[in-house]
Amino acid sequence: MQKPFVIYRSSAGSGKTYTLALEYLKLALQQPVAYRSILAVTFTNKATQEMKGRILQYLYQVAKADESPLRRALSEELGKAELEISLQAETVLQHLLHGYSYFSVMTIDAFFQKVVRGFAREMGLQAGFQIELDLNKVLDAVIDQLLLEISEPQHRKLRQWLTRYAEEKVEEGNSWDFRKDLKQLAFELFKENYREKQSAMAAQSVTTQSAAALLEKLRELQQAFEKHMAEIGQAALAHMEQAGVSVADFSYGKNGVVGYFLKLVDGGPFVPGTRILQGLEDTEGWVSKKNPQREQLIAIAGQLHGHLTQALDAYQEYGPLYHSVIQLQRFLYAYGILHDLESRIDHYKKVNDLMLISDAPVFLQEIIGKDDTPFIYEKIGSYFQHFLIDEFQDTSGLQWLNFRPLVENSLDAGHQNLVVGDVKQSIYRWRGGDWQLLLETIQEDVQDWRTQVKKLDHNFRSKRNIIEFNNTLFKTLPALLHQKIIEDIEEVADETLREQLLRQATIIERAYEDAPQKLPETYDHHADWQGHIRIELLNEEYCTDEEGEATDWRNYVRLKLPGLVESLQAEGCEAKDIAFLVRDKRDGRAVVDTFMQYKNEGKTKPEYDYEVVSSESLFLNASLCVNLLVDLMQFLDNPDDVLVRGSIIYKYHKLTQDSLTPDQMHRFFSGGVGDEEENLALFYQQLPADFQTFQAYLNKLPIYELAENLIQMFNLGSYHEKAYIQAFQDAVLQYAKTEQGDLHTFLGWWADQGSESSVQLSEEVNAMRVMTIHKAKGLQFKVVIVPFCDWGLDHHPFKTNILWANPQDSALQNAGLLPMKYSSQLTHTLFSQEYYEEKIRIHIDHLNLLYVAFTRAEEELYAFARPKSTRQGSYPLTGIANLLRTVLPDLEVENAGALAGWDEMAQVYEVGAAHTDSEKPGEDADVLTLPAYPSVRWRDRLSIRPLSRGIFQAKLNNLTVSQAALMQLLLIQLRSVDDLKPRVEKISFERGLTARERTVLEEQANRFFNQPEVSEWYQSGRTIYIQRPLFLEKGKRYFSLDRVLVKENSATLINFCLLHDREEKKRGLEISLSHLRKNYDHLEAFLVDVTDFSIVKI
């Protein structure tokens, strides 16, 4: 009898989706509306759509198909006749289509959002609250506000921390502009590892002052330990001086046992080496046997032995605390920054009535953990009897805690539930995924007596050679990695901790216990060709380019890729069957650039396809045509920019393949040698004549029309970048719909985020795929190429990876939860356990990446790697490349025959041979390839009213429209007159104002402040609210007041208007007065017309 809770442990290509859909049908076919009580949970929206489609497809097949293996399987499982199953499937399909909204296949986040909305009132959320999915948007706003206020006196300590953060980034070789790094640091606040411990942080009541006090305490602890050790060292050295001997008289001098006393005096390092520890046991070893004063020195060594014992005892007792203090001080600035950011995020959420998507699991834990399950179903309007959870290895701890009561309630009622997952494919731990849930926790939580584990151990995806190769490789690599971790853990001095960590390290091999897969019964064992694997390990000394010049190994691989693709297609493989899998987007971009450059250099052959599709690496800023378009727009926005002029000439000539001499290029980039008029004339001569003729006209066009005209004017549609140009126009059009449409603002948006937009091409087109390994999870391809198979096993040393821990030491017992930067230097601290546990996890993560990459292949697998050896010729296990170099020479694949093995001379491991496919390739999708990109002249189009430049230069009394808009923004955001100059500078930087425009803006603002009634609005002594939302009694948001000044029982309301919003702003003030009058003894309101600074009292 099947137990009610089934855990399916799957592997790559084992039919996981099929199994999940089959289990769904078994439950759904019990009653016509049984599907309404089933919740199937997947990991991504794409997987949700795939699962829904698969269930509907299977239902239709069972109901309608003449022959259906699935119907036969269901008949056997349910013990019913096939005809009965067919009729039931047809009935269920009809009910499901008519009640599609009850068809509950969704992501975990979607389900949690549904529960959150049901419990909004209980959670204290305002009516009409929103769940914010875009965390980047929130962080951008919060960091903008932080940087805006950082110069204020009350933020002096925070300013110091940010300065330290910027200095560290420079020391690591990164840009001092740490905005992006600060944003990355802030994402730590959204990680589940932090959120789980957030309650501990809240109990600490962390403030800027408490963080500064903690820093001072850490310094005191450091100084106290160093002072104590120095006193021991000084006493030993004084004894030696009194005896008339020096450090040089003893063995190894400063590097010997006695040299340790010098380190004590100098402030470290205090970690005792092997020689010091041996010296504690044998004082005769302190002195060389050839030393003529040996007996005297041994006697003195005996006298010094007590000092050494005292020092080592002190180190053993206080050393971990000392090293912890050092590490905490190095990263304590992040502690203060994160606290400040968290406070600002909380404030942002309250002001904007938001709940972040990352808050949902924490909120739900409070709700679901306290309420009865029936009440939860009542609130969300659904009742689920069965839970089917897919990709369970990527489920987080909090997500499972929220699901667990629902699942247990279902099991208690005798209903069937299941989870499906594969620990080996857990590569989303950075998003909160916890593979230990699937490996260990879930079975303990649900209890063994009602749990049944089933293994999906057949591979329906790959050829035999691929399967056997991966079986052998992923049996060998985990054992090797486990041994490496054991060697690292053996260095841990604490025996109890060492044994605990050794037990935890066994998880590496346990995770891969079910890696070996079988061939399905229907597999054709007699086929002539069984697949091909080729792994090339490169020595950079022998890597050369096309001219025979030495080059780095990555460039060498890039040069090989076009030839490899051509040979694959010559053997009968289509372009759409080839996938390049990379570690990150940077590598993907390198692959894309390789084929773009190959095409631009005219090296392509007509019989082969070189197109690539990538949603992650086909960025618009990789296109020469798009970059030229943006440069032309920058020139129109600011014709005085000499560097932009030079860039335009360089890119245009590169595009048209017209050569320029170095002297010519120098002239353009340096601003020329003659007067400005002559240089500008020479610039125009290099470009199409229409550009100068119609420049004034181009300046008046809205952004989309401008792009269209420039494409036609420079004939950009005739080059090999049509997809990029089309995607650029899509981005421009989308921007014009949602943002301010003037050219200057667009260029700012482009620099910040638009340039990272990617080109979206149809998945049906006959083109090669380029994607990250993370994106490829769940997919399969006939040919997989891993061009840069060289990622490390540990965290990158120059990236900030944070560990959170609560130091278990009386000296820091009130410090609470503290962040530390992951580093090998933590091995000697109080946090060594956290360090080694994370080390085990990250090693498994990186091995899993290799597993996912290698198991995507159906027929052929290619990989290139560059192992790094020591001077002694060994290959330390620091990265995937060295792992492969260690195991491949001795790797024996079963049933591979003679065409398998390691070529020592070529450093190549190969199984099988490349395949020549004589079958006719499948038909492509109906894809129309345009010979040129169509660009219609503006005269043939409807004119679109421009939003900026041109019309914006019309005068409105004293200010142009564009100046008035900036003035409105300035007056709303300004807190005091003293804040005027930095605020003007910020707006100028963001909007790219010229020095003249900046001066005009500041002068006009000062003119406004000279009015008597106005100066009071920008003085201290009042509480100031900026763009304050006004809520009516029912909680409905009506509008925002630009400026609200409150002092005791009096308030002043101010709105700043332009021509288009004068009446709306006036009406808003009138309603505010009537609504708020009962709250204040004295209430007044003013409407300021920014175009002429006229003030009307309402």
User: Are the C-beta atoms of residues 424 and 447 closer than 8 Å to each other?
Assistant: no
Q: What is the predicted pLDDT for the residue at 424? A: 94
Q: Rounded to an integer, what distance in angstroms lies between the CA atom of residue 611 and that of residue 769?
A: 9
For the cut 80, the answer to whether the pLDDT of residue 765 exceeds it is: no
pLDDT at residue 587 greater than cutoff 90: yes
Would you state the pLDDT for residue 654?
A: 82
Name which residue leads in pLDDT, 169 or 948: 169
Give the 3-state secondary structure of residue 1039.
strand
Task: Name the nearest CA neighbour of 237 among 268, 265, 275, 205.
Answer: 265
Q: What are phi and psi of 587, to 5 degrees?
A: -65, -40
State the pLDDT at residue 516.
Answer: 94
Which own/partner contact pairs does 302-306 have at CB distance under 8 Å and 24+ positions apart?
303/239, 303/243, 304/236, 304/239, 304/240, 304/258, 304/261, 305/280
Cα gap 508→747, rounded to integer Å: 50
H helix or E strand, kind and range, residue 400: helix 397-412
Is the separation of the CB atoms in 258 and 291 below 8 Å?
no
Q: What is the pLDDT of residues 453-491, one digit of tens each?
A: 999 999 999 999 999 999 999 999 999 999 999 999 998
Q: Under a CB-based contact definition with an 8 Å cutoff, are residues 913 and 898 in contact?
A: no
Residue 59 identity? L
CA 710/CA 632 separation, integer angstroms = 8
Across 688-713, average pLDDT: 87
pLDDT bin (cut points 50, 70, 90) of residue 448 is confident
Coil/strand/helix, residue 240: helix
Q: What is the structure's pLDDT at 675?
A: 66
User: What's the rounded mean pLDDT across residues 319-340?
Assistant: 85
Rank 191-205, 275-289, 717-731 by mean pLDDT and report only the highest: 275-289
pLDDT for 893: 87
Residue 504: predicted pLDDT: 93
pLDDT above 70: percentage of residues in the chain: 87
> Side by side, which strands form the sheet with 857-865?
612-613, 768-772, 578-582, 781-786, 857-865, 532-537, 908-911, 900-903
Whether the predicted pLDDT of 762 surpasses 70: no
Distance CA(1039)–CA(1068), nearest Å, equals: 7
- Cα dihedral 890, 892, 898, 899 in deg (nearest 10): -80
Q: Which two tokens stand for residue 1098?
A: 């309402």
Higher-confidence position of 838 and 919: 838
The Cβ-side half-sphere exposure at 378, using a 13 Å CA radius, reads 5
Handedness of CA 748, 750, 752, 754 (dihedral sign): positive
Cα–Cα distance, 657 to 715 (Å, whole number):
14
**Cα(313)–Cα(225) distance, integer angstroms:** 12
Give Cα separations from 276 to 255, 285, 295, 322 (angstroms). 10, 10, 20, 19
CA angle 539, 540, 541 (to 5 degrees): 90
Exposure letters 345-360 (e unless 16+ CB within 10 A, then b): beebbeeebbbbbbbb
Query: How do beta strands 612-613 and 802-805 pair?
Result: unpaired
Lowest model confidence (mean pLDDT) among 276-285, 712-721, 827-836: 712-721
- According to the model, what pLDDT value does residue 7 have? 95
Using the Cα atoms of residue 778, residue 781, residue 786 and residue 789 in order, give the sign of their dihedral: positive
Beta bridge partners of 1046: 1023, 1051
For residue 1083, give the 3-state DSSP assignment.
Answer: strand
Per-residue pLDDT, averaged over 356-367, amounts to 77
Asked if residue 1029 has a cis previous peptide bond (ω within 30° of 0), the answer is: no
Query: What does residue 579 show for φ and ψ, rounded to 5 degrees?
Result: -130, 130
Question: What's the CA gap between 158 and 74, in Å, rounded?
Answer: 65
Amino acid present at 690: D
Instruction: Please give the domain boundaries of the chain with CATH numbers for all domains.
Output: 5-126+359-455 (3.40.50.300), 131-352 (no CATH), 461-580+764-797+824-917 (3.40.50), 620-756 (1.10.486.10), 951-1097 (no CATH)
pLDDT of residue 1034: 47
Q: Which residue has the higher pLDDT, 201 or 686?
A: 686
How far, in Å, are 3, 79, 152, 445, 530 from residue 449 at the CA level? Answer: 8, 25, 63, 11, 43
- Over its C-alpha atoms, the chain yields an Rg (Å, rounded) of 35
Is the CA virtual torsion 659, 661, 666, 667 positive or negative? Answer: negative
Q: Is the pLDDT of residue 859 over 80?
A: yes
Q: Report the C-alpha gap between 344 and 339 in whole angstroms.
A: 9
Mean pLDDT of the chain: 84
Across 74-185, the runs of DSSP E, i.e. the strands, are 104-107, 130-132
Q: Which two tokens stand for residue 745?
A: 């603002």
Higher per-residue confidence, 255 vs 1039: 255
Question: Which pLDDT does position 944 carry in this prediction?
Answer: 43
Q: Do the Cβ atoms of 247 and 254 come closer than 8 Å? A: yes
Question: Among 395, 396, 419, which Cα is nearest to 407's?
Answer: 419
Of 456 and 134, the structure prediction assigns the larger pLDDT to: 456
Residues 6+ apart with CB under 8 A from 801: 795, 821, 822, 838
If you search the block for the tokens 């309603």, which residue do you land on?
1071
- Report the predicted TM-score, pTM, of the whole model to 2 decimal places: 0.78
Q: Which amino acid is at 530?
A: Q
pLDDT higher than threshold 60 for residue 596: yes
pLDDT at 373 over 80: no
List pLDDT tens digits, range 539-575.
888 888 888 888 999 999 999 999 999 999 999 999 9
Minimum mean pLDDT among 378-387, 401-410, 640-649, 887-896: which range?
A: 378-387
pLDDT at 939: 45
Contacts of 1015 (CB under 8 A, 6+ apart): 977, 1009
- 10 Å CB burial of residue 50 (0-12, 13-18, 19+) is middle
What is the pLDDT confidence band of residue 1048, given thresholds at 50, 70 and 90? confident
Q: List, for residues 109-128, the tens digit of each pLDDT value.
A: 888 888 777 766 665 665 56
Among 155-164, 416-425, 718-727, the range of highest mean pLDDT = 416-425
Range with lowest mean pLDDT among 206-215, 238-247, 345-354, 569-578: 206-215
- Asked whether the predicted pLDDT for residue 594 surpasses 90, the reply is yes
Task: Give tens-digit pLDDT for 958-996.
Answer: 566 677 888 888 888 888 888 888 888 878 766 767 777
Q: What is the DSSP letter of 439?
A: I
Tens-place pLDDT, residues 508-531: 999 999 999 999 988 888 888 899
Pair of tokens at residue 504: 């935890």
Per-residue pLDDT band for 923 (boundaries 50, 70, 90) equals: very low
Eight-state DSSP code of residue 9: E
d(CA 217, CA 812): 9
Q: List the structure tokens of 502.
A: 């050794």
Find the helix packing angle between 294-352 and 259-266, rounded to 10°.
Answer: 30
pLDDT at 657: 73
Compute CA 635 distance to the chain's CA centroid, rounded to the nearest angstrom: 34
C-alpha–C-alpha distance, residues 1053 and 1025, integer Å: 10
Any bridge partners for residue 1025, and if so which? 1044
Q: Is pLDDT at 613 greater than 90 in this prediction?
A: no
- For residue 179, the model assigns a pLDDT of 74
Q: Name the residue with higher pLDDT: 497 or 657.
A: 497
In this predicted structure, the answer to whether residue 1035 has a pLDDT above a threshold of 80 is: no
Please state whether 949 falls in left (phi above 0), alpha (psi between -120 and 50) or beta.
left
Phi, psi of 397 (to 5 degrees): -60, -45
The CA distance from 136 to 115, in Å, is: 24
- Spatial separation of the C-alpha atoms in residues 2 and 641, rounded to whole Å: 75
Residues annotated within a binding site for ATP? 10-17
Report the distance separating Cα 655 and Cα 644, nearest Å: 16
Bigger pLDDT: 930 vs 1057: 1057
CA distances from 483 to 127, 478, 548, 845 (A): 57, 9, 41, 17
CA–CA gap between residue 621 and residue 630 (Å, rounded): 9
pLDDT of amino acid 331 = 78
Q: Which residues, at least 6 apart from 80, have a Cβ–Cβ distance to it below 8 Å?
A: 74, 88
CA–CA separation, 583 and 724 (whole Å) = 24
The sign of the CA dihedral 1036, 1039, 1043, 1045 is negative
Task: Please give the residue that has the higher pLDDT: either 1073 or 665.
Answer: 1073
At residue 371, the pLDDT reads 55
Binding-site residues from annotation? 10-17
Phi, psi of 583 (to 5 degrees): -75, -40
Tell me which of 68-82, 225-239, 799-813, 941-955 is least confident.
941-955
Average pLDDT over residues 283-302: 89
Nearest to 720 by CA among 756, 684, 759: 759
Helix (H) or strand (E) holding 1097: strand 1094-1097
Number of Cβ atoms within 10 Å of the Cβ of 703:
24
CA distance 638 to 644: 9
